[in-house]
A and B are shown apart, each in its own frame.
Chain A
Amino acid sequence: MNYKVNFTNEKEKRAMKDVFGATVAKMGEDPKFVYLDADLMSSIGTKKWADAHPTQAYNVGVSEANLAGMAAGLASSGLKPLAHTFGPFASRRCYDQVYLSIGYTKNDVIMIGSDAGVTAAYNGGTHMPFEDMALYRAIPHATVIDVTDSAMLENVLPKLLDMKGLKYVRLGRKEVLGVYEAGADFEVGKAALVKDGSDVAIIACGIMVAEALKAAAVLEAEGIKALVLDMFTVKPIDAEAVIAAAKKTGAIVTAENHNVIGGLGSAVADVLVKNTPVPMEMVGVQDEFGQVGPQDFLQNFYGLTSEVIVEKVKAVIARK
């Protein structure tokens, strides 16, 4: 791992979908790479490359079970498939196929679920996955990643191509608040320390890493030193990092753009109760369905903001 944090609370210039499209194009240089999509190539920035590479890119239409099954068959024939659709369809809609034909059969496949959580915004509840990480976490040996920003996406996605087994990656499509400098290098399965601190540890993933950094700045001004850990690999979780953070700070707050049931909060709690029980609070969707609205409205509605993290930090410190 070799990364520099450069958080300025500004949106990146490139949309995540454009970064995704460019990364897929690069991965396509591997002749064994094959890209599948359930008719959402134009939504995720891959259409241009796909059109130019008809023998490596397949739009299978609106058939997610078929998408997952085909990916399994391609993988078992020695190819390296990556399959994309929106998060709810990449998880709920083809779960049995992903579970059995990819996971249980040990096929090496990357599944991509875009529009993570509230980033689905105007698409509303049907398209807003708050459960995709929970579903994928329940598949034995699956790797589950919630991408933080473009630097991470560019670095991590190609690494998954030669990793064994089922990998699930969730990401937003629009511009996100950048956290890392370009050229950052990450290790799948290892948390990235983005800010050191001693009073509390905020463990976050995806778009909530930026919220955690905003919260940490507010807390710093009030004399509370928060450690911020980017747990982008939600499974397998970096238990060592969780335990170390708990021992160092004595209080944990998790922050995720997902239901607190089955997501990052649950994964961190699993580690804590077995190893280092310390007071803990969870920022995330509190067992609700999605709904429509701009992303900032939804973040406020579900409490996925730096303000809520600050509140929870104070609450958890009071419980120490």
Chain B
Amino acid sequence: MDNLTATAFKIRQDILDTVVNCKAGHIGGDFSVTDILTTLYFQQMRIDPLQPKDPNRDRLILSKGHSVEALYAVLANRGFFPLEDLKLVSAYGSKYIGHPTTKVNGIEANSGSLGHGLSVGVGMALAGQMDQAPYRVYIVMGDGELAEGSVWEGAMAASHYQLDNLCAVIDRNGLQISGPTEDVMGHENLEARWTAFGWHVIKAAGNSTEAMNTAFELAKTIKGQPTVIIAETIKGYGVSFMENAAPWHHKVPNAEEYHLATAELAAKRGAAL
């Protein structure tokens, strides 16, 4: 198997193909979260694609559900379903719809209406605590999503119940659909906000699989409180003309853009090998 970084660039190509094929998707957020998901599914999480309902499996909820193409591509590459199924994403009647659904093997929760994932994860982590089960629960949120009040209800509960089996990740790319998060609804002192809610906070370079891996290892050692990893990412990471450009939140590449992006991803994958 490729190393994690190379795998992440391969997965980006699958995401690109998926978005171009179905002429829809959220490629900017997909690319910013790819390294986070790749690190989790290929290195960190105790999962078995052949036993997706194992009671002791680690769980992940992609609360920023609009980045579903990234999750589909990661799950397909990890063996939860055939890679060819990525061609069915957003096809009429397909189960691979535009936001995560539990109809798809390996997906733990329906998400897409933002701000739901954390509380559902609190329930899962609490169940794990009650059953003394060994699993960990990962909740991946966007930074724009943090404007949802329900995120903070979940944040309070997670620390109240001392859920050290819960790890939240914020894909902190600084952009949301209409522009910079700090212009739309600012998150100044983000670290202090989570600390004040009783969480252990780790900052990490979110587009580095190595840095993310280190952060997840550290999170496992934190006891008595949940951990949030503020993953500092670049929206559109991996394709230079998509990086840090708000329109690529949900733009579909044209033929020329597709070829440019493919060449760049291949070069970066090659360099990582």
Partner-B contacts on A (CB < 8 A): 34, 55, 58, 60-61, 63, 65-66, 68-79, 81, 96-97, 100-101, 104-106
Please tell me if the beta carbons of A65 and B150 are within 8 angstroms of each other in the complex. Answer: yes
Chain A proximity mask over B118-133: 1 for CB below 8 Å, otherwise 0: 1111111111101100
User: Within the complex, what minimum Cβ distance (angstroms) separates B236 from chain A?
Assistant: 28
Chain B contacts of A76 at CB under 8 A? Answer: 108-109, 120, 123-124
Chain B contacts of A104 at CB under 8 A? Answer: 110
The distance in angstroms between the C-alpha atoms of A125 and B150, with both chains bound, is: 24
Partner of B119, one of A61, A69, A79: A69
The distance in angstroms between the C-alpha atoms of A34 and B118, with both chains bound, is: 19
User: Within the complex, what minimum Cβ distance (angstroms) separates A250 from chain B?
Assistant: 45
Chain B contacts of A81 at CB under 8 A? Answer: 123
Please tell me if the beta carbons of A79 and B110 are within 8 angstroms of each other in the complex. Answer: no
* 14 pairs, CB–CB < 8 Å, chain A vs chain B: A55-B130, A60-B157, A63-B153, A65-B150, A66-B119, A69-B116, A69-B154, A71-B123, A72-B123, A73-B122, A74-B126, A76-B123, A77-B127, A78-B127
Chain A contacts of B119 at CB under 8 A? Answer: 65-66, 68-70, 72-73, 97, 101
The distance in angstroms between the C-alpha atoms of A51 and B50, with both chains bound, is: 41
Given contacts A66-B157, A69-B154, A106-B102, contact A100 B123 (CB under 8 A): no
Chain B contacts of A106 at CB under 8 A? Answer: 102
The distance in angstroms between the C-alpha atoms of A69 and B152, with both chains bound, is: 12
Closest to B149 in A: A65
Total interface residues in chain B, CB < 8 Å = 31
6 closest cross-chain pairs (CB), A and B: A73-B123, A69-B119, A77-B127, A66-B153, A70-B123, A63-B153
Given contacts A73-B124, A106-B102, contact A78 B55 (CB under 8 A): yes
Please tell me if the beta carbons of A72 and B109 are within 8 angstroms of each other in the complex. Answer: yes
Closest to B109 in A: A105
* B113 interfacial by beta-carbon distance below 8 Å: yes
Please tell me if the beta carbons of A74 and B123 are within 8 angstroms of each other in the complex. Answer: yes
Given contacts A60-B157, A63-B157, A70-B120, contact A105 B127 (CB under 8 A): no
Could you say which of B110, B113, B131, B161 has the most chain A C-beta atoms within 10 Å of its C-beta? B110
User: Within the complex, what minimum Cβ distance (angstroms) separates A231 from chain B?
Assistant: 31
* B211 interfacial by beta-carbon distance below 8 Å: no
The distance in angstroms between the C-alpha atoms of A69 and B61, with both chains bound, is: 12
The distance in angstroms between the C-alpha atoms of A17 and B153, with both chains bound, is: 27
Partner-A contacts on B (CB < 8 A): 55, 102, 108-113, 115-116, 118-128, 130-131, 149-150, 153-154, 156-157, 160-161
User: Within the complex, what minimum Cβ distance (angstroms) separates A29 from chain B?
Assistant: 16
- Beyond the given pairs A69-B153, A79-B130, 8 more chain A to chain B contacts, judged by CB atoms under 8 angstroms and listed by A's residue number, are A66-B154, A69-B116, A69-B122, A73-B126, A77-B128, A77-B131, A101-B119, A101-B120
Chain B contacts of A63 at CB under 8 A? Answer: 153, 156-157
The distance in angstroms between the C-alpha atoms of A97 and B112, with both chains bound, is: 11
Please tell me if the beta carbons of B127 and A73 are within 8 angstroms of each other in the complex. Answer: yes
Partner of A72, one of B120, B125, B128, B161: B120
Could you say which of B119, B149, B157 has the most chain A C-beta atoms within 10 Å of its C-beta? B119
User: Within the complex, what minimum Cβ distance (angstroms) separates A72 from chain B?
Assistant: 5
The distance in angstroms between the C-alpha atoms of A100 and B113, with both chains bound, is: 8
Please tell me if the beta carbons of A100 and B154 are within 8 angstroms of each other in the complex. Answer: no
The distance in angstroms between the C-alpha atoms of A65 and B109, with both chains bound, is: 16
Chain B contacts of A74 at CB under 8 A? Answer: 123-124, 126-127
User: Within the complex, what minimum Cβ distance (angstroms) separates B52 from chain A?
Assistant: 13
Given contacts A58-B126, A71-B123, A74-B127, contact A97 B116 (CB under 8 A): yes
Please tell me if the beta carbons of B128 and A105 are within 8 angstroms of each other in the complex. Answer: no
Chain B contacts of A34 at CB under 8 A? Answer: 130
The distance in angstroms between the C-alpha atoms of A104 and B100, with both chains bound, is: 12
Please tell me if the beta carbons of B116 and A96 are within 8 angstroms of each other in the complex. Answer: yes
Chain A contacts of B110 at CB under 8 A? Answer: 100-101, 104-105
Chain B contacts of A68 at CB under 8 A? Answer: 119
Chain A contacts of B116 at CB under 8 A? Answer: 69, 96-97, 100-101
